[in-house]
Amino acid sequence: MKKYFLVIFIISMYELNAEVKLEDCASIKSDIKRLACYDYLTTGVSKTSEELSKKESNDTSSVDNDNETISKEEANFGLSNKQKIEAQIQVNKLQLNSIISNVSKVVGGKTRFKLSNDQLWESQSVLSSIKLNNFRVKNNIVIEEANMGGFWMINISSNVKIKVKRIS
């Protein structure tokens, strides 16, 4: 009986020490350094500061098909909270300006919009023909975060808005 108690005590002490280390990692501001801290906790191997600084400089921006540089925040705009947590990213941008490059209907009557930045968005409900006429190819739109989650796609010229979610 004493052996079981000793084993349980040792395991619980190990978990207490691991929690303190996890809290330390969570307090790190830099995404790359925080990830390196978590990697160290799980694998026991730490990356050098040269590898981390090289990785941080590579992650500052990405390039799209038109060879235009888009910000990391814009590339990650519209991801769900679960996707943000899994990718360990923070997106502070509250709106995205873009142009509709393609509109298509899907099974169930919803509408999908492909934007000029290669993001794919889908309406949350079946759109009436009046609303759908406001969201045609080459229309300038703004996508804003809605209260309580979700997103609004707003036609800049007519100020008509529809509820959308990001598909990819």
Query: pLDDT 10s per residue in the chain (168 long)?
Result: 777 777 777 776 665 554 445 677 777 777 777 777 777 777 766 665 556 666 556 554 444 444 456 676 677 777 776 777 777 776 565 788 899 999 998 888 899 999 998 899 999 888 888 888 889 999 999 998 887 778 899 999 898 989 999 888
DSSP one-letter string for 60-105: SEEE-TTS-EEEHHHHHTT--HHHHHHHT------EEEEEEEEEEE
Question: Is 124 strand, coil or helix?
Answer: coil
Calpha distance 157→159 (Å, rounded): 6
Question: What does the angle CA 99 – CA 146 – CA 122 come to, to the nearest 5 degrees?
Answer: 50
Question: Is 167 strand, coil or helix?
Answer: coil
Calpha distance 42→36 (Å, rounded): 10
Return the amino acid letter for 142: V
**DSSP character at residue 127:** P
Calpha distance 50→45 (Å, rounded): 15
Please answer whether residues 143 and 77 qualify as being in contact, where contact means their C-beta atoms are separated by less than 8 angstroms.
Answer: yes
Q: Which two tokens stand for residue 89?
A: 């990213």
